Structure 1
């Protein structure tokens, strides 16, 4: 999932959030065709209420995606703001990847992307590589404002600023000024295009997907949300439960907990899990004893005296300046759990005066040209600034950092991982708060799979049991030794997911017991 100015809460790659089955047919709206028994043809135009589906070319993607060659595609047109149905219309790209089976099951799966701000169509390869279309069609729709939507709410200048940050003190006041200036410039650009920034949020997105189901004439379907997509899925379940057969949540981000304090808690859970795995292996524990203390000392030392170095990245001879302070180290480790095997060695080298491994990885992530111009910052801030910051005070946010890491300097505690300068960003984004109900817990009898990774430092594994308290037919599974978004990295998680869609109330989770810890790198 993307966070403000950082694109890490996403697909599970550090390089690059239950119940009575509702099966009743909805009454067909005036002018609409009757719902089909199942499946998703995507081949006929259909108007339902204020929404219209039109078959057409597949949505644009930043890179070619082989699986789209056989997809049925089109667009969904909806009001930008449903409070003004006669106002501006927006168009969302739709791609339906057919099932691999000759006789598909009648209820397709809808993929809800991470971010906020990532385009679901850009995540087709991950879903299909994981076998999600084994015997069901899988539907991908670009959320409003994302890469293949019209209008998009992209701001490449923010992405370019993110690349420059590697050479700045991460949480310095001077960096904050530049950071907020970039956010304000993005806002002004989008407003200048006529975009209603207040309409880019979970409530409108959930309604978009409900309109898509009706416009495609589908009786019922299944959801699979990753990272921020779980945030949207839980909202969708609460607002539009009709037509949902089952819901998979992977890397869970509950709307009721969204904010900086929860982010700190998730970070500590994931990193503590990784550090414990090293401590449990005699060779790792002997070579890298007491990693939590090493990490905390590094954060304090680097915040007091940042280290500056240069690195050369693959494909370029140009040296890149990298500044490592305490805040940088926290944000690096949030994503570095995806390369868990290397983390103890990297921290040890830094503690012994060699910052190159961490600096190289940090700069590689932040300056990757594939990250330029693909994130909808309009949707990022639309969600966070209307649904999160209005319902968490600055003091509550700070307390989250203080509780998780009382030894950290206040400057680090004040900036939650991946949410650096969120509050001043939202001040200049200047949109109204969402209705307080956006923070309501989701209560449902829809069968739900709550998947987490034990090394997930972005959406902690305790979010699974948390959401299951009010999802009466939930199956909670934590995949050991895995980072954020387990579907992307774990064959076991993929097997559990496909089993869940076969039998939503009794998925086969037996593979979990056979999983082994990573073999950590041991330096000479």
Structure 2
């Protein structure tokens, strides 16, 4: 079938000399921009625009938000239904997140435009950053998990934002209405949705609300609608660590150098719980600056949780635990510092609190069975304390209802995902007759770019037939060998 041009694809508007050429999609005018990468991640050339929307749709004459939008054009004449990229978090901006997964969209871009909308409260859409006294964008003091510290931080953040935002209107439901406004502005009759992690919640809520405007849905690391975000984090992480550490015990080289990682973890947890610990000197991992910090359970929880998202960084965990068990906390502190600083500028924690407290706050409940896990029950208590100080928006009555109907849906899970395990994907797909769930062996969180998955992704968008995909190429995936040192695994 011949492709139809999407809105008279990229009408060029000549500007005055010395100015970049503008292009138009629907009613939106775009100008060239660059989405910066970082480290080994390449920058992405795009077209950028904005769309003004009411902060409170019940008061359309009130304050507005300028939604930051980027368009990554197709390499050929495009099909009429673009792909909307929905970022995770909650709290990540789509434009900043996209470059790290851009290679997975290479085949998609042969026939479709990709649209990136910074969700309200993130990126360039009135970002709700929570900054401490030093100007750092933080969720709270990672080394201090006391509820009173969490509440004080949330109160200070709210006070800093109240002049420019009513934080009750930065929920998933508000974001869904924004996406629909962007779709209408672009003039696209239907759109394809890709959501990663928390973005899968946004995708499901949009598809439930606007099924006729949704062509296909891709859910990468699935969050079921019924899930109270946070309640299962502790047990999911503990199960993923146990599964990964069991691989070390089954590997002769790893078991010989790093025996019983779970037992090592328990000893380190007990050591960090001791009161009156002395500060430890370490080098900042990027600047080399000498620093001191008191090792705390929060440092360990941050490191284990975030490093277990990726198979590569997961291989380092038994090594870092063995060093800490031997009394050397400098490597753990250095890596935790790197994570805290890099994640701080990626996540807009005010927006995260608006989403989490409005949608999940009344369901947060600590499970006594989680005591003794890495996150323990303190993670829930920390979140509840922040939500006590944070105003809550509206949550629709059917918010927890599952996505149903005949929409084509492709769900993707990583075998060792520590936050959205494969059982979540199975749960969501069970009620979708045109859905399919693919579990990628040995992989972690948001594995859209692994192996042949990008090609399957593009094929699904082309055919809108998840069940017809030939996914045998995924059988070639295998877990990385367990790490035995800071330089990786045995050759």
TM-score range, shorter chain: 0.7 to 0.9
Task: State the partner residue of 1:54.
Answer: 28
Contact 2:31 2:48 in 1 (8 A): yes
Question: Which of 357, 369, 386 matches 1:385?
Answer: 357
CA shift at 1:414, angstroms?
1.9
CA distance in 2, matches of 1:260, 1:107: 34
Task: State the partner residue of 2:227.
Answer: 257
Contact 1:92 1:148 in 2 (8 A): yes
Task: State the partner residue of 2:92.
Answer: 118
User: How many pairs were matched up?
Assistant: 460
CA distance in 1, matches of 2:12, 2:162: 34
CA shift at 1:422, angstroms?
1.0
CA shift at 1:88, angstroms?
2.3
SS at match of 2:78: coil
Question: Which of 111, 129, 143 matches 2:119?
Answer: 143
Task: State the partner residue of 2:158.
Answer: 187
CA spacing shift, 1:455–1:307, aligned 2, 3 Å: farther
CA distance in 2, matches of 1:161, 1:111: 24
Contact 1:274 1:455 in 2 (8 A): yes
Counting only pairs closer than 5 Å after superposition, residues 69-468 of structure 1 correspond to structure 2 as: 69=45, 71-100=46-75, 102-130=76-104, 131=106, 132-149=108-125, 151-157=126-132, 160=136, 162=138, 165=141, 168=143, 170-171=144-145, 173=146, 176-193=147-164, 195-305=165-275, 308-337=279-308, 338=310, 339-368=313-342, 371=343, 375-392=347-364, 397-399=365-367, 402-403=368-369, 405-408=370-373, 413-416=376-379, 421-468=382-429
CA shift at 1:381, angstroms?
1.1
CA shift at 1:37, angstroms?
6.9
CA distance in 2, matches of 1:380, 1:492: 32
CA shift at 1:231, angstroms?
1.3
CA distance in 1, matches of 2:212, 2:470: 26
CA shift at 1:164, angstroms?
8.8
CA spacing shift, 1:290–1:188, aligned 2, 3 Å: same
CA displacement, residues 61-109 of structure 1 (integer Å, 9 cap, x when unaligned) = 676997654x343222222122222322222121111123x34333221
Structure with the greater relative contact order (CA < 8 A, sep ≥ 6): 1 or 2?
Answer: 1
CA distance in 1, matches of 2:228, 2:139: 26
Question: Which of 460, 474, 487 matches 1:500?
Answer: 460
Task: State the partner residue of 2:479.
Answer: 517
CA RMSD of aligned residues (A): 3.0
Stretches of structure 1 that go unaligned for 5 or more consecutive residues are 1-35, 46-51
SS at match of 1:133: helix
Which moves more between the two structures, 317-326 or 473-482? 317-326
CA shift at 1:444, angstroms?
3.0
Task: State the partner residue of 1:25.
Answer: none
Contact 1:81 1:88 in 2 (8 A): yes
CA distance in 1, matches of 2:179, 2:12: 18
Q: TM-score, length-normalised on structure 1?
A: 0.79
CA distance in 1, matches of 2:58, 2:201: 22
Task: State the partner residue of 1:474.
Answer: 435
CA spacing shift, 1:58–1:191, aligned 2, 3 Å: farther
Larger proportion of helix: 1
Contact 2:128 2:348 in 1 (8 A): yes
CA spacing shift, 1:430–1:301, aligned 2, 3 Å: same
CA spacing shift, 1:59–1:37, aligned 2, 3 Å: closer
CA shift at 1:383, angstroms?
0.5
Stretches of structure 2 that go unaligned for 5 or more consecutive residues are 14-25
